[in-house]
């Protein structure tokens, strides 16, 4: 399911911001963009996200903005300054250069400076994890809102399929009766034309076989059972998306069998409409965990 979550927190030395972006995927895949100092924390982030989210391709980005308004983050290394001054003095003597050693010469050596100790920032990881947790909660909340919309749409389509099944049952009962009558009329005509004695036992057997081949009671019963189970599982939180996908496949199987048993154009039309609804439900289920 698509979604976006964010959270931020101001700390003593910095401001921490976390952004999470999610797009559809059958499985959980987390890509992290973390500052170098936290490069070893990627597994922690994935575990934290996995506790609340089971499906989706998620991009997690952590950004840190240091508070530098009143602090100088660079400091001079006195020992390094002395060493480079000594080095320049030696070069001056060796080459006979008369020019004096000035500050600008020493400043060309970046090694004389030291930045803020990353270990100081690393100490804040416990607080940063809380920011990640807040961002995940924000993402889950957004996905839950979208899920409510999807739930309404999916249940509406399921109800539509259920109503069409009832119509198909009525059409099927009428179809069986009409097929029996057509067969009896045809057999009676053939017997009359051939002037032979009808085998009523054989005729009764054939009629039973036709009725059995056209009967869709079992398929409709199973289909409605799948529908009821589907409705009950829509609101379940654990692995509901995968379970619902399975139920849609089973429902599709029963509808296909109904289509193969039917020789009615009216029933075939309703079968096509039900399969269209199932396809739309499958598309929506790709967004559900």
pLDDT in tens, 158-217: 999 999 999 988 888 776 666 666 666 665 565 565 555 555 666 565 655 665 566 788
Beta bridge partners of 32: 60
- Please state, rounded to an integer, the average pLDDT across all residues of the chain: 81
pLDDT at 137: 94
- Distance between CA atoms of 72 and 116, rounded to whole angstroms? 9
Q: Which residue has the higher pLDDT, 274 or 238?
A: 274
> Could you tell me if 196 and 169 are in contact, meaning their C-beta atoms sit under 8 angstroms apart?
no
Summarised one tens digit per residue, pLDDT across range 125-153 is 999 999 999 999 999 999 888 888 888 89
- Distance between CA atoms of 193 and 223, rounded to whole angstroms? 45
Q: Which of 212, 215, 184, 216 is nearest to 200 (CA)?
A: 184
Query: What contacts 179, CB < 8 A, 6 or more positions away?
Result: 210, 214, 263
- Distance between CA atoms of 208 and 17, rounded to whole angstroms? 73
Query: Which SS3 state, helix, strand or coil, does residue 40 take?
Result: helix
Burial class of residue 200 in the structure, from the number of CB atoms within 10 Å of its CB (0-12 exposed, 13-18 middle, 19+ buried)? exposed
Q: Which of 136, 135, 133, 126 is nearest to 54 (CA)?
A: 136
Summarised one tens digit per residue, pLDDT across range 90-127 is 888 888 888 888 888 887 776 666 655 555 677 889 99
- Distance between CA atoms of 196 and 203, rounded to whole angstroms? 14
Kindly list the strands in the beta sheet with 3-10, ordered across the sheet, starting from the edge strand earlier in the chain: 3-10, 14-23, 56-66, 28-33
Walk me through the domains of the chain, giving residue ranges and CATH numbers. Answer: 3-70+120-142 (3.30.230), 75-114 (no CATH), 150-285 (no CATH)
Lowest-confidence region among 35-49, 73-87, 222-236, 274-288: 73-87
- Distance between CA atoms of 11 and 34, rounded to whole angstroms? 18
The pTM for the full model equals 0.57
pLDDT at 286: 73
CA angle, corner 223, sides to 221 and 224, nearest 5? 65
Summarised one tens digit per residue, pLDDT across range 254-271 is 999 888 877 778 888 899
- Distance between CA atoms of 283 and 277, rounded to whole angstroms? 10
Locate the DSSP E strands across the chain.
3-10, 14-23, 28-33, 56-66, 75-76, 113-114
- Residue 3 pLDDT grade (very low, low, confident, very high; cuts 50, 70, 90): confident
C-beta neighbour count of 109 within 10 angstroms: 16
Q: Is the pLDDT of residue 70 over 50?
A: no
Q: What is the mean pLDDT of residues 45-59?
A: 90
Q: Which of 52, 255, 229 is nearest to 135 (CA)?
A: 52
């Amino acid at each position: 399911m698509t979604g976006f979550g964010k959270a931020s927190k101001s700390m003593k030395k910095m401001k921490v911001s976390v952004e999470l972006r999610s797009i559809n995927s059958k499985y959980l895949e987390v890509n992290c963009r973390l500052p170098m100092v936290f490069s070893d924390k990627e597994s922690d982030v994935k575990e934290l996200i996995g506790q609340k989210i089971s499906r989706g391709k998620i991009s997690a980005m952590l950004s840190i903005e240091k508070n530098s308004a009143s602090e100088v983050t660079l400091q001079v290394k006195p020992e390094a300054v002395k060493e480079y001054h000594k080095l320049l003095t030696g070069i001056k003597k060796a080459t006979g250069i008369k020019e004096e050693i000035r500050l600008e010469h020493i400043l060309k050596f970046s090694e004389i400076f030291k930045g803020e100790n990353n270990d100081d920032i690393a100490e804040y990881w416990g607080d940063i994890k809380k920011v990640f947790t807040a961002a995940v909660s924000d993402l889950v909340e957004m996905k839950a809102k979208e899920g409510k919309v999807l739930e309404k749409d999916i249940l509406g389509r399921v109800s539509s399929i259920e109503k069409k099944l009832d119509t198909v049952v009525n059409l099927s009962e009428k179809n069986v009766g009409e097929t029996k009558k057509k067969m009896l009329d045809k057999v009676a005509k053939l017997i009359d034309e051939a002037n032979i004695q009808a085998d009523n036992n054989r005729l009764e057997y054939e009629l039973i076989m036709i009725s059995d081949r056209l009967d869709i009671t079992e398929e409709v019963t199973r289909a409605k059972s799948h529908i009821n189970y589907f409705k009950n599982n829509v609101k379940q939180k654990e692995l509901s998306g995968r379970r619902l996908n399975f139920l849609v496949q089973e429902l599709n199987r029963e509808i296909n069998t109904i289509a193969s048993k039917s020789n009615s154009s009216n029933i075939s039309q309703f079968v096509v409409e039900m399969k269209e609804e199932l396809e739309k439900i499958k598309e929506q289920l790709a967004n559900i965990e």
